[in-house]
Amino acid sequence: MLAFIIQRLLQAVVVMLSVSFVSFALFQFVGDPINNMVGQDATEAQRELLRERLGLNEPWPLQFIHYIGNIIQGEFGLSYRLGIPVEDLIADRLPATMELVLVSAFMALALGVPMGVYTGLNRNSWLSRLFLTISLIGISLPTFVIGILLILIFGVWLQWLPTFGRAGVVDLGWWTTSFLTLDGWRSLIMPSITLALFQLTLIMRLIRAEMLEVLRTDYIKFARARGLRNRAVHFRHALKNTLVPVITITGLQIGSLLAFSIITETVFQWPGMGLLILQAIQFVDIPVMSSYLVLIAFLFVLINLVVDLLYFIVDPRLRLDSLSRGAH
């Protein structure tokens, strides 16, 4: 198991190095940032000074090493657009996105898993059909349409919820949170539903398909033949066997939640990383773009590690295989 973890960590390092290289290469190939930063009428001396300050005069391998070193120390450079350190920008925006993604992921799992189990067990009930129909809508409607519909219904017509922004935020010093006030929750709820809906339907359909598959297996038949109660057969024996694919997909989906959050944040003017990166792209703000790339890659790698570890917890066959492999 230890060998496996070390192997995975090494892989993670390789992935991170490659991504850093790509994001570093952005600096080299996408225009001259100096033009964007200083006005048309800046003198050549002023430009040279700025170039020096940003370290743009060194040969690129050296720049890359500096770049990596800085990233490791948590320094991502200055934003071309705003002139303030990117890490401060990110630290400012990260909590908004993370809270949005976490609440969405939780919603998708907390509703998707039971709905999937229910529709898998009661294939022909009207409620199952209802769930499946709704899930079709969730899968086929684009995220922004769902968001706009929600805004229209709950924000404009019913006026129950704020239509945009992140209100009621409490600053904890190192983190800003919406979780501590009612207003915070009120502005969080529509964006997270919007973001969660697609994942929810995906998880529901996945669990349902896995459930149907597992219920056909011999060990489920044998469990029934031993007279085990339905509850034990369904929720102990069957559900646990559906977990491996669900963990995989959930891990991948948390990644895509981060990605989809760009759209949701735009629709709801949610002050998260998605909004930040959009503005950065409009301005060709390379340091922000490349830092976003590195950060997202890091989160993906992290999630994948967690997923791998969860496999071990769920499936004993992997545990023992790698034990015996690790022993040699």
Partner 1 sequence: MTTPAESNLLEVQNLRVDFPTRRGTLIAVDDVSFEIKAGEVLGVVGESGAGKSLTGAAIIGLLEPPGRISGGEVRLAGKRIDNLAQEQIRQIRGREIGMVFQDPLTSLNPLFRVGEQLIETLQTHADLDEKSARKQAIDWLAEVGIPSPEVRIDQYPHQFSGGMRQRVVIALALCANPKLIIADEPTTALDVSIQAQIISLLKRLCREHGTAVMLITHDMGVIAETADRVAVMYAGRLVEIGEARKVIQNAKHPYTLGLMGSIPTIGDTEEELRQIQGSMPRLAEIPEGCAFNPRCPNVSDRCRKHRPELQSVDESSVACWLFEDAAVPSELS
Among the residue ranges 17-25, 30-38, 97-105, 315-323, the one whose residues contact partner 1 (CB under 8 A): 315-323
- Taking the complex as a whole, the smallest distance from the CB of residue 114 to partner 1 amounts, in Å, to 20
**Structure tokens, 16:** 């991170």
Q: Is 231 a residue that touches partner 1 (CB under 8 A)? A: no
**Structure tokens, 122:** 């009661």
- Pairwise CA distance, residues 112 & 125, whole Å: 17
- Taking the complex as a whole, the smallest distance from the CB of residue 226 to partner 1 amounts, in Å, to 4
Give, for 29, the enclosing helix (H) or strand (E). helix 2-29
* Complete DSSP assignment for 231-297: HIIIIIIIHHHHHHHHHHHHHHHHHHHHHHHHHHHHHHT--SHHHHHHHHHHTT-HHHHHHHHHHHH
CB atoms within 10 A of CB 258: 22
- Pairwise CA distance, residues 183 & 48, whole Å: 49
Q: Is 166 a residue that touches partner 1 (CB under 8 A)? A: no
**Which residues between 195 and 224 bind partner 1 (CB under 8 A)?**
217-219, 221-224
Considering the complex, state which of residue 223 and residue 246 has its C-beta at the smaller distance from partner 1. Answer: 223
- Taking the complex as a whole, the smallest distance from the CB of residue 252 to partner 1 amounts, in Å, to 22
- Give 78's strand partners: 85
- Taking the complex as a whole, the smallest distance from the CB of residue 314 to partner 1 amounts, in Å, to 7
Candidates 183, 314, 322, 326; binder of partner 1 (CB under 8 A) is 314
- Name the residue among 88, 80, 5, 98 with its Cα closest to residue 36: 80
H helix and E strand count, the chain? 14, 2
**Which residues between 233 and 292 bind partner 1 (CB under 8 A)?**
236-237, 240-241
Q: Is 53 a residue that touches partner 1 (CB under 8 A)? A: no
Among the residue ranges 131-139, 166-174, 176-184, 227-235, the one whose residues contact partner 1 (CB under 8 A): 227-235
- Taking the complex as a whole, the smallest distance from the CB of residue 247 to partner 1 amounts, in Å, to 13
What is the DSSP secondary structure assignment for residue 150, as one 8-state letter?
Answer: H
Candidates 173, 182, 316, 327; binder of partner 1 (CB under 8 A) is 316
Considering the complex, state which of residue 134 and residue 244 has its C-beta at the smaller distance from partner 1. Answer: 244
> Under the rule (CB under 8 A), what is the footprint of partner 1?
217-219, 221-230, 232, 236-237, 240-241, 314-317, 320
